[in-house]
């Protein structure tokens, strides 16, 4: 078989395929964990009426974070097709934004209270932020590589 034709058949099969089992299981796990987290935080928020304002704001932020992860997982599962690293870029952006928010909050708590626990949370936030930024950069590289490959294949198709 012609190698070019074989390559085109592989591309068509990949484009028509579904998410791999590993990806589907990962998104189902993300959906379940984020739903459980959001449910716990929201139930605590609703049942504990005497919480201080800053705790209510924190619960609201945590609820939004859990719900946004649920939306991402639901979108990926509904697509049922390979997302060609677009989902990874979105997840990396979300992780970076959420971790940056946590780190800023921990930094403010460390400045206000001066407690060792707050400084520990700040240090943890900084490490998590670097990990999230690394994941985002890795996802961007994968997306750009796939986009370059797609452009190359489109050019090959157009030249026929």
Residue-wise pLDDT for 72-104, tens only, equals 999 999 887 767 788 899 999 999 999 999 999
Are the beta carbons of 72 and 28 closer than 8 angstroms? no
0.85 surpassed by pTM: no
Show Cβ contacts of residue 23 under 8 Å, excluding neighbours closer than 6 positions: 76
Which comes out higher in pLDDT, residue 13 or 62? 62
What are the tens digits of pLDDT across the range 26-70?
999 999 999 999 999 999 999 998 999 989 999 999 999 999 999
Q: How confident is the model over 126-143, as a mean pLDDT? A: 96
Are the beta carbons of 135 and 92 closer than 8 angstroms? yes
Nearest in space to 89 (alpha carbons), one of 127, 124, 132? 132
Residue 31 neighbours by CB distance under 10 Å: 18
């Amino acid at each position: 078989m012609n190698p070019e034709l074989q390559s085109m058949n592989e591309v068509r099969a990949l484009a028509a395929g579904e998410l791999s089992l590993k990806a589907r299981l990962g998104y189902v796990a993300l959906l379940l964990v984020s739903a459980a987290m959001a449910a716990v935080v929201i139930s605590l928020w609703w049942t504990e009426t005497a919480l201080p304002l800053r705790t209510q704001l924190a619960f609201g932020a945590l609820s939004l974070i859990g719900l946004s992860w649920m939306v991402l997982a639901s979108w990926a599962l509904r697509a049922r097709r390979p997302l060609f690293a677009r989902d990874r870029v979105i997840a990396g952006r979300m992780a970076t934004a959420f971790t940056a928010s946590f780190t800023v909050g921990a930094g403010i708590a460390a400045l206000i209270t001066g407690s060792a626990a707050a400084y520990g949370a700040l240090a943890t936030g900084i490490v998590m932020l670097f990990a999230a930024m690394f994941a985002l950069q890795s996802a961007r590289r994968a997306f750009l590589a796939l986009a370059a490959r797609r452009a190359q294949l489109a050019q090959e198709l157009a030249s026929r």
